[in-house]
Chains A and B, each alone.
Chain A
Amino acid sequence: MNAAVFSLLAILIVALAVGVVLNRNPVRSAMCLVGTLFLLAVMFVFLDAHLVAVLQIVVYTGAIMVLFLFVIMLLNLQTEAAEQSPAPMRALVGVCGFAFMGILGGALLVADGTDKFSAPVPAGFGTSVAVSERLFTHFLLPFEITSLLLLVAIVGAVVVAKKKLE
């Protein structure tokens, strides 16, 4: 992709992310996050990660964010009152956060690595065939364990969230 497209995408993503953090209303925060995730999926497409992009939309925005919204609605959360963390805390947080971003960002700016980013990708890169080819051979064990993890998560979520029977 060219720089213009990337820049546009990047700016939008960052703007929406900031919106997630700064919005008073949790529903609006959630919607900003949906937007961020969607735009990230677009970014994935540009990076030749087609399966991942689709999964991002279907799983992340389609399932996880819906779950978030369900819970927000369930708890009937209102617009948050403006109690903030105390100032010293915010100052420290700000320092840490911007230090982090600054250091790493700066490092990235001056870094000069040679990689194969600009070269064209092999055929079938990023398709489901390519993913599954790796997934069911090299990463088989993590795959199985992850399915077990999902089972545990399902059972756990039900157990934790349900009301106690009288």
Chain B
Amino acid sequence: MEHPAAHAAAQSAVLAAPYLWLIPAFPLLGSLFNLAFGNRLGKAAVRVVAPGAVLLSFLTGLYAFWSLVRAGTGAVLVNRVYPWIHAGSLQVDVAFSFDPLSGLMVLIVTGVGFLIHVYSTAYMDHDEGYARYFTYLNLFTFAMLLLVLGDNLPLLFVGWEGVGLCSYLLIGFWYENPDNASAGKKAFIVNRVGDAGFLLGLFLLYWSLGDGPQDLSFRSIAGQAGELGPGSVLVTAICLLFLLGATGKSAQIPLYVWLPDAMAGPTPVSALIHAATMVTAGIYMIARMNFLYVLSPEAMLWVAAVGAVTAIFAAAIGLVQNDIKKVLAYSTVSQLGYMFLGLGVGAYGAAIFHVMTHAFFKALLFLGSGSVIHGMGGEQDIRKMGGLKKYMPTTYWTFLVGTVAIAGIPPLSGFFSKDEILFAAFNRFRVLWAVGLFGALLTAFYMTRLLIKTFWGECRADHETQHHIHESPPAMTVPLIVLAVLSVAGGWIGTPWANVLGDFLAPVFNSRHGHHSASLELALMVVSFAVALTGMGLAYFAYVVRPGLTTRLKEQLPFLYQPLLNKLGVDELYDLLIVNPLVAASRWLWSGFDVRGVDGAANGVAAVVERNSAVWRKLQSGNVQHYALSLFAGAVVIVAYYVLA
């Protein structure tokens, strides 16, 4: 188990790497190219440029990674690009830093991102907005890379906002349908609430740091963290505010509500943004700011609690959903909860490990579902699927691998990462360990349910659709296979007996492998394995052995079934408490204040002026003698003044 060491000043060796800026630059250029020339040069150009740009980023990232490894433990690569904000004591630069944490994130973002770009070239082939799609997708990659490579909080926030924007653009990609546009809006607005928390935390942090030039880089904040008063209300407040931002971006309670709706976007978007990359931004941010969180045990408890509760909350809802993407969406929310749990119990490395493995198998599952939807001609309801394994074998086998991985069956990746988190939770808050274990049971159950209903048994689609079911083209299936391999093997760098990843990440978190009881860990691993098998077994029992069981349960326990089906009414609750009052207030402000008040005042002024001038213009009678009279009267006044005074 990792536990934080005493806080020393950063001992990292800082090395210059003047090529780091290329990593975000390639996708930005790709985006601009697609924007300017995409429509003119057609799909043939776009489908090469867009994935190509991401591939170039990946290769540059690999080179940087190799340089980092060669430089030894504790090294950081930095690329200061140009001075950005220089205002008094605030001296922020555009600078990129590449340490083990950001390096890993870069590889995940560009690697998985590349696979998804390739997948999209086939998936979006019939779409009119082909160039626009890839413009947004490249732009998103650029923003995400800014986020993970940013050397300081403001630059991270720029990327943070950027991914939020691209998320909105891509969710509402098929905007002609107003529901899609609404989903995009919802994502953006809910994210904004989180962003407000992030900004407040940032301001509070800046305000509480000492006088003297601040560049708000992570190294410099880490160095000054001691001044903030460990355990103080101030530090806790800052951490909680950043947590609020993270719950928005990473879809935790209370700001998770946008993610299920975000399934309105194209499936590769769901895979990239809402499974592998953007939603991990909150986790990355908290991991990055670990030096702050270790100062506030209360805040960490909150992080862990939010994560654990969200994990089972979302898993429960996912249990009964009938849309293949919705199940995966709630599953994502739930798995993100596990990552938060990991962060909250101090197992930062474990949380990042789970980010990586989750990126592999969740992207795989989403892309697989995309393949299914593509083959089924757009159908997403699993009640109308079934028996697809004989029509779409590659999709089926890769989906199976993903399901087993997420359920947490060794030796696949999901097992190792989830187990590491659960072990850390066991040593800190046993209650949360139990909650996490229950969540694992639910996860195994609902994923197996999804697999069975989609691929096994008799096909429940109508004849017309059945006729057209086909396996997807290689551009779609090859990424599936790659991700499946990664889902199997990806966990092997983080096994408890040879935790290569943990050691690699340790300098970032100022932690080291503590001594722990090997037998305890082994015992808990067995428990996790058993729980996963139980979950899968129960699903097998309920859907294959006794097919009518679930229908009877639904009838006999409607008080359990209906609320879960209705997502536990959270959206409706928010509507009631927040949205409707705000809309009503806006409407009142508009009609009462803007229309009557402001417009009334403006029109009123005009009316007063008009009436006033209507009186005064009578002076212009056109009669010369009146004018002569006024002249003469003036002359009389002047004469009187001079003579009498």
Contacts and interface: CB of A to CB of B under 8 A. Distances in A.
Given A103-B644, A104-B643, A96 B636 contact: yes
Interface string B590-634: 000000000000000000000000000000000001100100110
B619 to A, nearest CB: 14
B636 A100 contact: yes
A142 to B, nearest CB: 25
B640 interface: yes
B629 A96 contact: yes
A91 B643 CA distance: 24
B233 interface: no
A103 B640 CA distance: 7
Nearest to B633: A96
Contacts of A96: 629, 632-633, 636
Interface string A88-111: 010011001101100110010000
A85 interface: yes
B505 to A, nearest CB: 98
A97 B632 CA distance: 8
Contacts of A104: 639, 643
Contact of A89 (B626, B640, B643, B644): B626
B246 to A, nearest CB: 82
Contact of B639 (A85, A92, A97, A103): A103
Given A89-B626, A92-B629, A96-B629, A107 B636 contact: no
Contacts of A103: 636, 639-640, 643-644
A6 B309 CA distance: 120
8 contacts: A89-B625, A96-B633, A96-B636, A99-B640, A100-B635, A103-B639, A103-B643, A104-B639
B34 to A, nearest CB: 73
A94 to B, nearest CB: 11
A96 B640 CA distance: 11
Interface in B433-481: none
Interface string A69-98: 000000000000000010001001100110
Interface residues of A, number: 11
User: Taking chain A's interface residues, is the majority helix, strand, or loop, or is none over half, making it mixed?
Assistant: helix
A87 B640 CA distance: 25
Contact of B636 (A85, A89, A99): A99
Given A85-B625, A103-B644, 5 more contacts: A93-B629, A97-B632, A99-B640, A103-B640, A104-B639
Contacts of B640: 99, 103
B639 A100 contact: yes
A99 B640 CA distance: 9
Pairs of residues from A and B, 3 with the lowest C-beta to C-beta distance, nearest first: A107-B643, A100-B636, A96-B633
A99 B644 CA distance: 12
B639 A89 contact: no
A100 B639 CA distance: 8
Interface in B361-383: none
Contacts of A97: 632
A108 to B, nearest CB: 10
A96 B629 CA distance: 8
B572 to A, nearest CB: 75
Nearest to B632: A96
Contacts of B629: 89, 92-93, 96
Interface in A6-49: none
A92 B625 CA distance: 12
A121 to B, nearest CB: 29
Contacts of A107: 643
A33 B32 CA distance: 92
Contacts of B625: 85, 89
Contacts of B635: 100
Contacts of B626: 89
Interface string B89-120: 00000000000000000000000000000000
A97 B636 CA distance: 8
A103 B645 CA distance: 12
A70 to B, nearest CB: 24
